[in-house]
Amino acid sequence: MAKGMREIKRQIKSVQNTRQITKAMEMVASAKLRRAQEKAQSSRPYVDKLREVVSSIANGTDGSEEISHPMLVTRPVKRTAYIVITSDGGLVGGYNANILRALTDYLKSKHASKEEYGLFVVGRKGRDYLGRRQHPVVFDVTDLSDTPRFADIKSLAYAAVQGFELEEYDEVYLCYSKFINAITQRPTIDRLLPFESVEHDGVTTAYEYEPSPERVLGVLLPKYAETLIFAALLEGKASELGAKMTAMGSATKNATKMINELTLTYNRARQAAITQEITEIVAGANAQG
């Protein structure tokens, strides 16, 4: 019995140490999540203004003629690029599994062969998962911080957009987790290129373009696409931290529940041992009497 009680005490101590770690990780993820949300929100005015300028040129709402551009034109699809945003590490609940499951299901439904698409992957988890299954990973970026900068994925975004412009790919899709709140993250697959339409709601400012609207649009559209990729990365990072905070919170609650159950078991075992000792003492006294 004494040996069993010592084992229970060791289990309690071990779970208590684990709970301290998961609680600390939950608090760190919560602090980082707030910063990630602030960074995502601070990028929205820039995206909105860029959308307004691109819309005014492409749709001729500034008084000029409507302008066409290859990035606005749909062409027959022979090969597709997918930009997949995952995490580098684990302990994030179902964050990576949900994204990769949605992607693989989509690939199976849309493509008959792996030669019909190429994958641009952000995050070690996605790269390793897709690589083990022999999917064509043509570009990957790993070891991003929890506060990523555009420079961290500039080469990947440029390669994907350039691939579309050079007609290596006829479509480009974004696969990421859309942040709803700390508990809910929605796996999302959106078509990035070609742009179906570039629309802006609200009052449009009149602009003058130098050297010409066509030249300005040619520069802005790739930048606009790269900006949307970075915005998806910020959404993904907020989703990752939200999933980690939720997972560590659940782990902490489970550890607390386990500690309570083990403590109850220990107290019962201790009470049984004391009762047995008292019984033995009384029996011995009666025998001597």
The domains located in the chain, with CATH, are: 30-245 (3.40.1380.10)
Cα 104 from Cα 101, distance rounded (Å):
5
Per-residue pLDDT tens listing for the chain (289 residues) = 555 788 989 999 999 999 999 999 999 999 999 888 888 777 778 877 877 777 777 766 554 556 777 788 888 999 999 999 999 998 998 999 999 999 999 999 999 999 999 999 999 999 999 999 999 999 999 999 888 999 999 999 999 999 998 999 999 999 999 888 888 889 999 998 887 655 555 555 666 777 777 787 888 888 888 988 999 999 999 999 999 999 999 999 999 999 999 999 988 888 887 887 788 777 777 777 5
pLDDT at 198: 54
Closest by Cα among 111, 108, 141, 105 to 126: 141
The dihedral sign for the CA sequence 255, 258, 262, 264: positive
pLDDT at 201: 56
Check: CB of residue 85 under 8 Å from CB of residue 232: yes
Three-state DSSP class for residue 61: coil
Tell whether omega for the bond before 211 is within 30 degrees of 0, i.e. cis. yes
Cα 239 from Cα 278, distance rounded (Å):
58
